[in-house]
């Protein structure tokens, strides 16, 4: 078997059905959707349809969707766009947020905002007491991710939003890893803002969206100034093919979700059972039941995951978030679970996806077990 891709938390391939729907909007319907001529109107119709599809996937209204360039921009728009309306005060985020939230929070902190980072338990679930106690009179916003990109843990989002509202703050959730993977209804959850990224749900890279609640209305200031597109919140010519791709990807994921999440959960279980049978010391990081179905994060004690990956070029795997893999420090997400450095360095993220097969799972089990055994033999021979 040639190289097998197990890094769907970092990015997904574009589903060919999505690509097919995008293609006419490059060379045939290429007008600027802001223009009133025929070409422009046709593009506008396509963008509007995509907006409805994205909204429907999360139970929102189409006027509550702002197209952006991706998850990072949506997170920044949520935090900066909301907080910059006020004099610097206080806000709250989780301690295992993606860098798109974490670094935005640090930048706001440099601008005078106080921020609390709420710890998680050994499964990666936010400490609800610490969260509730962190609110102050001047807390404007809380942002906690829906599902973590390294360990897949799903947070009690409805409860977190309810507490934030009780304390007089708005609630944002980065749902980049969750949209298209688990059911999401912004009304039932009560969230005020929610981040979506196209390339994590078999759509194109370079497109995302921010859900911004209208009733009661959440007001933002724009990060970009220009032609006033997206109701003034995000100036810049809309990329029609990318919008169409995000809409199609959201619609396909929503239609397939029930069957697909059951299939992925079965595959993840097969992978974990297979690894435990071959290597009984296998550790699972994160929660077994409160996690997105395609994510498995495991560790083999005493085995440095980067070394293991270097020995297994036939598997496209990652030790943490692709977006922060330039740093060789063990993932701060894994460390936040309370693991010692050596155990954190053993963590391996296995991201299954729409096109992952049973045969690929069995291949991964066989290759990982062989890789771990061979590193152990090498260490034993070297007297480690």
Q: What is the three-class DSSP state of 146?
A: coil
Q: Please name the residues in contact with 354: beta carbons below 8 A apart, sequence gap of 6 or more.
A: 8, 12, 15, 202, 256, 260
Q: Which of 197, 261, 282, 295 forms a contact with ligand PLP (CB under 6 A)?
A: 197
Q: Which stretch binds ligand PLP (CB under 6 A): 70-78, 216-224, 328-336, 340-348?
A: 70-78
Q: Which residue is nearest to ligand PLP (CB)?
A: 71
Q: Contact, 32 vs 344, CB < 8 A?
A: no
Q: Please name the residues in contact with 165: beta carbons below 8 A apart, sequence gap of 6 or more.
A: 171, 190
Residues in the interface with ligand PLP (CB under 6 A) total 16
Q: Which of 176, 242, 267, 375 forms a contact with ligand PLP (CB under 6 A)?
A: 176
Annotated catalytic residue, options 156, 323, 362, 376: 323
Closest to ligand PLP by CB, 323 vs 369, is 323
Q: Assess whether 243 carries a catalytic annotation.
A: no
Q: Does 274 bind ligand PLP (CB under 6 A)?
A: no
Q: Which of 12, 46, 54, 71 forms a contact with ligand PLP (CB under 6 A)?
A: 71
Distance CA 78, CA 261 (A): 28
Q: Does 64 bind ligand PLP (CB under 6 A)?
A: no
> With the CA atoms of 83, 226, 66 and 28 taken in that order, what torsion angle do they form, in degrees rounded to the nearest 10?
-160
Q: Which of 78, 145, 218, 315 forms a contact with ligand PLP (CB under 6 A)?
A: 145
Distance CA 260, CA 325 (A): 29
Binding to ligand PLP in span 303-332, by CB under 6 A: 321, 323
Q: Where are the alpha helices (DSSP H) in the chain?
A: 16-22, 24-27, 38-57, 71-83, 99-110, 128-134, 157-166, 186-189, 240-278, 305-310, 332-336, 341-344, 358-381
Q: Calculate Rg over the CA atoms of the chain.
A: 21
Closest to ligand PLP by CB, 149 vs 282, is 149
Q: Does 153 bind ligand PLP (CB under 6 A)?
A: no
- Output the smallest distance, CB 281 to ligand PLP, in A: 29
Q: Which of 21, 98, 345, 367 forms a contact with ligand PLP (CB under 6 A)?
A: 98
SS (H, E, C) 37-52: CHHHHHHHHHHHHHHH
Q: Does 143 bind ligand PLP (CB under 6 A)?
A: no
Q: Which stretch binds ligand PLP (CB under 6 A): 37-45, 65-73, 115-123, 251-259?
A: 65-73
Q: What is the three-class DSSP state of 12?
A: coil
Positions marked catalytic: 323
Report the interface residues with ligand PLP, using CB under 6 A.
Answer: 70-72, 75, 98, 100, 145, 149, 174, 176-177, 197, 199, 208, 321, 323
């Amino acid at each position: 078997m040639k190289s097998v891709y197990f890094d769907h938390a970092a990015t997904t391939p574009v589903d060919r059905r999505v690509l097919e729907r995008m293609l006419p909007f490059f060379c045939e319907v290429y007008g600027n959707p802001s223009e009133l001529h025929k070409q422009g109107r046709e593009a506008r119709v396509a963008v509007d349809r995509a907006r409805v599809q994205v909204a429907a996937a999360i139970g929102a209204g189409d006027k509550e969707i702002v197209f952006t360039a991706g998850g990072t921009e949506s997170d920044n728009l949520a935090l900066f766009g909301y907080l910059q309306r006020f004099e610097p005060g206080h806000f709250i985020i989780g301690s295992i947020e993606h860098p798109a939230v974490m670094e935005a929070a640090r930048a706001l902190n440099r601008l005078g905002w106080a921020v609390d980072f709420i710890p998680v338990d050994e499964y990666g679930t936010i400490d609800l007491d610490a969260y509730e106690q962190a609110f102050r009179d001047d807390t404007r916003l809380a942002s906690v991710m829906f599902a973590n990109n390294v360990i897949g843990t799903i947070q009690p989002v409805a409860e977190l939003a309810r507490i934030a509202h009780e304390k007089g703050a708005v609630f944002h959730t980065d749902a980049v890893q969750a949209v298209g993977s688990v059911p999401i209804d912004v009304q039932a959850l009560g969230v005020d803002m929610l981040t979506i990224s196209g390339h994590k749900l078999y759509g194109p890279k370079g497109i995302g969206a921010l859900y911004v609640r209208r009733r009661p209305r959440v007001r933002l200031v724009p990060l970009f100034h220009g032609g006033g597109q997206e109701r003034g919140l995000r100036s810049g010519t809309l990329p029609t093919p990318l919008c169409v791709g995000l809409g199609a990807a959201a619609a396909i994921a929503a239609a397939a979700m029930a069957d697909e999440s059951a299939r992925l959960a079965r595959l993840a279980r097969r992978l974990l059972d297979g690894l435990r049978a071959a290597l009984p010391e296998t550790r699972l990081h994160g929660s077994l039941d409160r996690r997105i179905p395609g994510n498995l994060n495991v560790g083999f004690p005493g085995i440095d995951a980067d070394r293991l990956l270097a020995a297994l070029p036939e598997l496209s795997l990652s030790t943490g978030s692709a977006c922060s893999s330039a740093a060789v420090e063990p993932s701060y997400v894994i460390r936040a679970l309370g693991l010692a450095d050596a155990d954190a360095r053993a963590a391996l993220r296995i991201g299954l996806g729409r096109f992952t097969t049973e045969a690929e799972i069995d291949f991964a089990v066989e290759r990982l077990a062989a890789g771990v055994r061979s590193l152990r033999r090498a260490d034993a021979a070297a007297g480690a």
